[in-house]
Homo-oligomer: A and B are copies of this chain.
Amino acid sequence: MKFFEDIQVGDVFEVGRYTFTVDNIKAFAVRFDPQVFHVDEAAAARSHFGGLVASGWHTALAWMRLMIDHRRRMDEAMRARGEPIAGIGPALGFRDLKWLKPVYAGDTIEYKSEVTEMRLSSSRPHAGLMTFRSTGVNQNGEPVISLVSTTFVERREKP
């Protein structure tokens, strides 16, 4: 991760994309969110969704996994350039998670995160707090999920 001082409000992270399939939708939902419209195609077709849809939690967790992979790629690139790597986390939680549209089997969601606030932390003076809004958009350009997270990021200049 970049250091706190090197991140600006408005910076965008291209987190990555994920394709939801009948198989991965069902595999996730059977374990964590076994509602019929996530696990049974025939029942889902008769529901108000009209077809199998991903658990909203699945659309959030796909973002989380892509975000971790994205940070690893950033760290590798920085290491390759001989730059020091800042520590990140833990996350405090998030707010305003919205499931805006259903995600159907076959949909590919592209996730991006934009930094909305950077502030110092009184409880951890060696770190600052980064707040960012993450959005997933489907192949038709429609936002399907949005959430706002806050996490600690290491400062380059320790007080």
Chain B residues whose CB sits within 8 angstroms of the CB of A34 once the complex forms: 65, 68
Is the beta-carbon distance between A93 and B97 smaller than 8 angstroms?
yes
Complex CA–CA separation, A98 to B31 (angstroms)? 23
Chain B residues whose CB sits within 8 angstroms of the CB of A64 once the complex forms: 32-33, 57
Q: Which residues of A contact B (CB under 8 A)?
A: 31-35, 49, 56-57, 60-61, 64-65, 68, 89-99, 102
Given A57-B60, A93-B98, 16 other A-B residues pairs in contact with their CB atoms under 8 A: A33-B64, A33-B68, A34-B68, A56-B90, A56-B91, A57-B61, A57-B64, A61-B61, A90-B99, A91-B99, A92-B99, A93-B99, A95-B95, A95-B96, A95-B97, A97-B97
